[in-house]
Structure 1
Amino acid sequence: IFHTPPRLLDNRPAVSSEDPDFIFPVIDLEGVLDPNKRTWIVKNIRDASGKWGFFQVVNHGVPAIVMKEMQAGIRKFYEQDVELEKEFFGCDPTKKVVYNSNFDLYNAPAANWRDSTLYHMAPDPPALVEFSACCREIPTEYSKEMKKFGDLLFQLLSEALGLRSDHLREIGCVEGMVMGCHYYPACPQPKLTIGLGKHSDLDFATILLQDHIGGLEVLHWNQWVDVPYSFGGLVINIGDLLQLIWNDVYISVEHRVVAKSVGPRVSIASLFGTGLSPNPKIYGPIKELVSEDNPLIYKETTMQNYGARYFEKGLDGSSTLLQFKL
């Protein structure tokens, strides 16, 4: 079931991020509270969001020990006795902790080479008893750090658009957070499958913690580019909903994770949206970003409506945003 059709594999070798034409943006957040340094940081975020839709940050303030313990806890969950894992298995998107292999397993042409667990951590986190006993406390501690850093990130993203620093927070972009914890075992035939198929994220923005194994690739100028591992770094990408409310000023870019002959690879993606519960709030392009030169591109939608279309479509390599274009 893991043999991916060749049309979906796209086995072109990725360009190294050391290639001078494809240098992946890395932004140092040290001194972000200093007005002069912050101006430069915001400019770099603006450039990276417009050209790549992705960037990596260092000196972000999230303690290294918390990141290390979170990765260790997730690895421990997947490497425990399979009977203990089964307690969390399911495909019910309304559960606050759910473990499965692929959310679109019964609709996809092939299964991806990974296991995933989703933790709905905000605005209403799971009770401690809902977590596996082997890693019960670290997800809560890590999620608090992600929420704290997320507040800063969305301030900087607001300022990059020339808006008030609290604009994106006030419209609910930091209200909800889901942590997607992925485990990619070493694969004996990595050329025949994919770790995570080509897709863009449905949220406002994602903060990714990846380990040294690598495998994340970003589609840039129609070329797959390897995202380099940086010790202590966090990878940020713009989500579909942010591209929609930004009216294409910045972009949500397709990316994938290739299978590797080494591993396991562990990654933790913190996705910011409006939360698990239905939210009637309607999102459309921010009026300050619409003009005669930049006319309205997208229809309005709720997060739930967009998510339903996204999951119905599955990871087929196309963007759900196309369904919302005027």
Structure 2
Amino acid sequence: MWCWEVIKINALTKVDETKVGVKGLIDSGIRTIPPFFVHPPETLADLKRGAEPGSVQEIPTVDLAGVEDFRAGVVEKVRLAASTVGFFQVVNHGIPEELLRRTLAAVKAFHEQPAEERARVYRRDIGKGVSYISNVDLFQSKAASWRDTIQIRMGPTVVDSSEIPEVCRKEVMEWDKEVVRVARVLYALLSEGLGLGAERLTEMGLVEGRVMVGHYYPFCPQPDLTVGLNSHADPGALTVLLQDHIGGLQVETKQGWIHVRPQPNALVINIGDFLQIISNETYKSAHHRVLANYSNEPRVSVAVFLNPSDRVRLFGPLPELTSTEKPALYRNFTFDEFMKRFFTKELDGKSLTNFFRQ
């Protein structure tokens, strides 16, 4: 076992040092995936038990067009989705269709630049403003996932725009502004769904801490042996996701794994572990994953993770949501402690909520 681990680490290091990611492996002409991308039998068996393509089960869709005139109804739809599935899609959010297309195209363009251009920002130091990487948990996971990612820190300390690759700079900056606007609307609805004032969650700084990631899932020659993104729950408060038409995102529900069917111009919203904790489990985060891409066309998605801006303040279940009948289910912690815990483990599910439970 020890010998195999050494061989695996050496192979991972060799690939990582090329700084060209999974895209580089495909460009080299490989027809079989390297062994360290092959997932354990139990993971592959679980993938086969997932929802069949074309499943009628879908996550809820919330139409924001009626957010002012029919606010109570919209609040209830958001509350119900956040407290059950933990995922929902929003339509009529006000982001121009043209910007949605340009943002996906710009992220795709970054990943399809010449390898030497991508390599300029390839680094494992996630504290940097911009980093291009293949698998943030490459050296912690049981098996690697078939995807590459560009990560850009948008707040609370905003990256210098000159650090953002020119090929996607304009779109990233425009996209961030729109996400902030939509996030404020969503937090107000979620806050009201908890029986709190509309500004309660935004007053905690949950819009200011933002990290944007642009995932690129190239064609995989053996998609039945690996995954695009391993099963996990997002650690932060809220995630805003824009996905293209390829599909592959799945969410675990009480009925099993279901596909998140791409809807034109829709955003996928999901609750993170942090929001589950501060809501004292009124809202639920959910396991989700991405299947390896069997399409000859690459899959592209853009996610913005919304987190607290203050990393040293103590957080825990909101006092308004605890009582003698429903005591706090989690201990207090700093967000710095929270994220350090997340980045020292592989993407393996909801151990964060388990770790901070009282």
**TM-score, length-scaled by structure 2:** 0.87
C-alpha distance in structure 1 between counterparts of 2:98 and 2:154, whole Å: 20
Q: Does 1:264 align with 2:259?
A: no
Residues of 1 paired with 2:155 and 2:96: CA distance?
20
Report the secondary structure of 2:349's partner residue. Answer: coil
Matches of 2:55 and 2:133, distance apart in 1: 37
- The correspondence for 1:215, drawn from 243, 248, 263, is 248
Q: Contact 1:17–1:23 at 8 Å: present in 2 too?
A: no
Shift of 1:218: 0.2
Q: Give the alignment of 1:136-151 within 5 angstroms.
A: 136-151=169-184
Q: Find the counterpart in structure 1 of residue 7 from structure 2.
A: none
Deviation for aligned residue 1:318: 4.1
Write out aligned runs for 1:104-143 (5 A).
104-143=137-176
2:336 is the alignment partner of 1:304: yes
1:33 aligns with 2:68: yes
Matching residue of 1:166: 199
**Following TM superposition, by how much is the alpha carbon of 1:124 offset from its aligned partner in structure 2, in angstroms?**
2.6
1:27-79 residue CA offsets vs partner (Å, 9 max, x unmatched)? 11102122xx1110000011111110000010011111111111000000000
Tell me the SS of whatever aligns to 1:47: helix
* Structure 1: segments with no counterpart, 5+ residues: none
More off after superposition, 169-178 vs 239-248: 169-178
What SS does structure 1 have at the residue aligned with 2:139?
Answer: coil
Q: Output the CA distance in 1 between the equivalents of 2:67 and 2:223.
A: 41
Secondary structure in structure 2 of the residue aligned to 1:134: coil
Q: Cα gap change, 1:13/1:214 in structure 2, threshold over 3 Å: closer, same or farther?
A: farther
Give 1:180's aligned residue: 213
Alignment correspondent of 1:253: 286
Compute the displacement of 1:317 (Å): 3.0
Mark the structure with the bigger radius of gyration. 2
Aligned length: 321
Equivalent pair of 1:181/1:268 in contact (CA under 8 Å): yes
Counterpart contact for 2:132–2:149, Cα < 8 Å: yes
- Alpha-carbon RMSD across the aligned residues, in angstroms, is 1.5
Match of 1:273 among 283, 289, 307: 307
Distance 1:18 1:248 in 2: 31
Please give the secondary structure, in 2, of the residue aligned with 1:237: strand
Runs of 4+ in 1 over 3 A off after TM superposition: 16-20
Aligned partner of 1:81 in structure 2 is: 114
Does residue 3 (structure 1) correspond to residue 38 (structure 2)? The answer is yes
User: How far apart are the structure 2 equivalents of 1:18 and 1:186?
Assistant: 21
* Cα separation, 2, equivalents of 1:173 and 1:132: 27
SS at match of 1:195: strand
What's the offset of the Cα at 1:185? 0.4
Q: Which amino acid aligns with 1:59?
A: N
| In 2: Cα distance, 1:31 partner to 1:122 partner | 30
Question: 1:262-293, CA deviations, whole angstroms, 9 ceiling, x for partnerless residues?
Answer: 03000001110024xx7211111011111233
Deviation string 1:293-322 (CA, Å, 9 cap, x unpaired) is 322110011111111111112212343110
Q: Does the 8 Å contact 1:99/1:118 carry over to 2?
A: yes
Q: Is the 8 A contact 2:217 2:300 kept in 1?
A: yes
Query: Are the counterparts in 1 of residues 66 and 74 from structure 2 also a CA contact under 8 Å?
Result: no
Distance in structure 1 (CA, Å) of the matches to 2:345 and 2:143: 14
Pair 1:208–1:279, CA change in 2 (3 A): same
Alpha-carbon distance in 1 for matches of 2:192, 2:278 = 15
Structure 2 residue matching 1:144: 3-state secondary structure: helix
Q: For the Cα contact (< 8 Å) 1:205–1:236, is it kept in 2? A: yes
Deviation at 1:17, TM superposition (A): 8.8
| C-alpha contact 2:58 2:260 (8 A) present in aligned 1 | no
Select the residue among 289, 311, 318 that pairs with 2:321.
289
Q: What code does the residue aligned with 1:272 have? A: L
Contact 1:17–1:227, Cα closer than 8 Å, also in 2: no
Compute the TM-score of the two structures, normalised by the length of structure 1. 0.95
Q: Are residues 170 and 318 of structure 1, via their aligned partners in 2, closer, same or farther at CA, if it must alter by over 3 Å?
A: closer
Letter matched to residue 293 of structure 1: E
